[in-house]
Structure formats: C-alpha cells, structure tokens
C-alpha cells in the first residue's frame, strides 16, 4: 500500500510517497508561493501514484475541529494568499482519497512516536525552535488539539536578570518565541545563530529560556519524553545546558525514573529531519483505516 504525505511550510511544500513502515520511496519539494500556483503542482504530483490516502501536516494556525465549517483550513496566517485557504478540501477534491490533517509540530511528534525515539510512549512533547517556536503534544496516546491546538511557543517567560533584550513577538514581546526563536537570537546578538557557535553566553541564555518552557511543559503535561528539533537545535552544545537548567528549575521537586536520566529524557529529533514527513505518512495510514 502506498500513502501520500504533504508537509506544508512557509517556504516549501515537501511531498512524498511512503509505505506502511514509514519508508519514504519518493520525495519532492515545491516552493510555497500562492495557493493558485503551488497547489496544482502539489496535487498534480500525486496523480497516477495510486495512493490510498494523504496525510497533511501544516503550518498554522489551522482548523482541526471536524465539526467546524472551516475544518481543514489554514486560518489566520499572515502569509499572503494563504489566509482562510481550504487546504484539506482542495487536496480531497483533486485526489479523491481520505485526508488526515494536523499541525506541522503534531506531525513531527507523530513521526517520532510511530517510527522514532518516542515509540511505545503515550505522552510526549515535540518542540521545534527555528524561525518560530511550536510544540506538538501527545497525551494519553492522542495528539492534543483542544479548542484550537496548543501554541506552546507563546508562553510567558521570566526574563533573565542580565538580559536587556525587549523581545520580538508582535503579540507578547517577551514570550518564549519572542525571546528564543532564531530571529530573536539574531536581533539580540546582531548575527544569526549559525555565526555565534563559539559564543558561550549566547547558548547559556538560550538554554535558560528553553529550560523554562520545558519545566512548564513537564509540570503541566507530565510527558514521558521531550524531543527538540528545528534549526536552532542543530546547535548541539545546547542539550547539556538545557538539561542542567531544567534540573535546577525542577529543584528536586519531582522524582521519577525518567527525570533521573535527563540524557534520555530531553533528546534531539531522531529521524534526520524526516520526522515531519514520516508523521504525514502515519496521518495518511490512520485516515485510510
Ligand atoms: Zn508570543
């Protein structure tokens, strides 16, 4: 059986064909311009490929409520042309197969839970830190949607006492994304993160903010594992700093076997940046079932 996968992003659409084992057999990348230009290229690529279903993981905000009139839409995105675009409907109309749909971060989490480092678990968080910050959350074996979907990149932060940066989020200034996403790093230090590799203070401060967020997720969601992905997390020096800060912030309050081994608890994404597209395959498999 073959399944289609579409991971929509701000700059490109990754499309793939995979099998029930999550193996990617064919993959292409199509630039995200306007829906009129991009979508016929996307759906056209899947025609004649004999897929059973398609899984889509999309940038948001998206409408995941099946009872809503705008289910399957990208909703209030500032990306020109894509606001209130019927993504699921467009794909369904062209390909005539069942369509599974979720957020990009839930897609990545599902990939890790099905094929990667979180296999066998029921509760986990996948956090991506890049141009923005978002988190996919699974609780009791289900991807969390709630009234909309979590926006765990926009939680408030306690600003570090030595940090004078005023924050980049247009809504909240000094929220997690406003203090710790790639654009905030670049604005605060005057250079992109890639060029700051050897500046210890950059990553110490970054780890301080990431650890605060993880501590909140741990306290509220009680995950069995936390997976960190996205461009900023390619800076591997961050991991030990984050674990150290989390241990300090938890301050011995919680005692579990998972927290005794933070090296196995707070981990990098494990699927070579294919976690998102592999999650889409799983969304398609579930949609076909
Ligand atoms: Zn914010």
Question: How many CB atoms are located within 10 Å of the residue 285 CB?
Answer: 20
Q: How confident is the model at residue 159 (pLDDT cuts 50, 70, 90)?
A: very high
Phi, psi torsion values for 113, nearest 5 degrees: -75, -25
pLDDT tens per residue, range 163-196? 999 999 999 999 999 999 999 999 999 999 999 9
Question: What pLDDT is recorded for position 77?
Answer: 87
Question: What are the tokens at 92?
Answer: 């369904």
pLDDT at 123 over 90: yes
Question: What pLDDT is recorded for position 78?
Answer: 82
Question: What pLDDT is recorded for position 34?
Answer: 96
Distance 178 CA to ligand 1 centre (A): 6
Distance 226 CA to ligand 1 centre (A): 21
Q: Select 3-107+273-288's CATH number: 3.40.50.2300, 3.30.470.20, 3.30.420.40, 3.40.50.150.
A: 3.30.420.40
Distance 171 CA to ligand 1 centre (A): 5
Integer Cα distance of 220 and 106 in angstroms: 18
- Determine the topology of domain 117-268 in CATH: Nucleotidyltransferase; domain 5 (3.30.420)
Distance 131 CA to ligand 1 centre (A): 13
Q: How confident is the model at residue 154 (pLDDT cuts 50, 70, 90)?
A: very high
Integer Cα distance of 100 and 179 in angstroms: 33
Integer Cα distance of 175 and 89 in angstroms: 34
Average pLDDT over residues 131-157: 96
- Which ranges of the chain does DSSP label H, i.e. alpha helix? 35-46, 87-95, 104-115, 176-180, 182-189, 200-221, 238-250, 257-260, 262-265, 275-288
Distance 14 CA to ligand 1 centre (A): 27
3-state helix, strand, coil in the chain (%, to 5): 40, 20, 40
pLDDT tens per residue, range 214-254? 999 999 999 999 999 999 999 999 999 999 999 999 999 99
pLDDT tens per residue, range 15-33? 999 999 999 999 999 999 9
Q: pTM for the complete prediction?
A: 0.96
Question: What pLDDT is recorded for position 30?
Answer: 98
Asked whether this chain's domains 3-107+273-288 and 117-268 adopt the same fold, the reply is yes
Domain ranges for the chain, please list them. Answer: 3-107+273-288, 117-268
pLDDT at 278 over 90: yes
Question: How many CB atoms are located within 10 Å of the residue 202 CB?
Answer: 20
User: Which residues place a Cβ less than 5 A from the ion ligand 1?
Assistant: 154, 169, 171-172, 175
Question: How many CB atoms are located within 10 Å of the residue 289 CB?
Answer: 9
Distance 278 CA to ligand 1 centre (A): 29
Q: Could you give the percent of the chain with pLDDT greater than 70?
A: 100
Question: What pLDDT is recorded for position 145?
Answer: 96
Distance 124 CA to ligand 1 centre (A): 22
Question: What pLDDT is recorded for position 107?
Answer: 98
Question: What pLDDT is recorded for position 10?
Answer: 87
Average pLDDT over residues 131-138: 97
Distance 175 CA to ligand 1 centre (A): 5
């Amino acid at each position: 059986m073959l399944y289609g996968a579409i991971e929509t992003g701000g700059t490109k659409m990754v499309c793939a064909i995979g099998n029930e084992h999550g193996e990617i057999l064919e993959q292409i990348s199509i630039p995200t311009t306007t829906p009129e230009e991009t979508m016929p290229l996307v759906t056209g690529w899947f025609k004649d490929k004999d897929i059973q279903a398609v899984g889509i993981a999309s940038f948001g905000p998206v409408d995941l409520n099946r009872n809503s009139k705008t289910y399957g839409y990208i909703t209030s995105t500032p990306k020109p042309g894509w606001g209130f675009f019927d993504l699921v409907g467009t794909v369904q109309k062209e390909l005539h197969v069942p369509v599974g749909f979720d957020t990009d971060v839930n897609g990545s989490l599902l990939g890790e839970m099905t094929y990667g480092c979180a296999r066998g678990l029921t509760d986990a968080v996948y956090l991506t830190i890049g141009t923005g910050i978002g988190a996919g959350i699974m609780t009791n074996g289900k991807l969390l949607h709630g009234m909309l979907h979590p926006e765990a990149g926009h939680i408030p932060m306690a600003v570090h006492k030595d940090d004078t940066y005023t924050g980049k989020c247009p809504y909240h200034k000094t929220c997690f994304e406003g203090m710790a996403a790639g654009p905030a790093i670049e604005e605060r230090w005057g250079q992109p993160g890639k060029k700051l590799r050897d500046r210890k203070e950059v990553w110490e401060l970054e780890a301080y903010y990431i650890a605060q967020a993880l501590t909140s997720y741990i306290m509220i969601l009680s995950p069995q594992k936390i997976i960190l992905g996205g461009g900023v997390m390619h800076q591997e020096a961050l991991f030990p700093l984050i674990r150290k800060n989390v241990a300090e912030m938890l301050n011995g309050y919680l005692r579990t076997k998972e927290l005794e081994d933070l090296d196995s608890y707070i981990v990098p994404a494990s699927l070579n940046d294919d976690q998102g597209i592999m999650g889409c395959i799983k969304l398609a498999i579930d949609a076909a079932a």
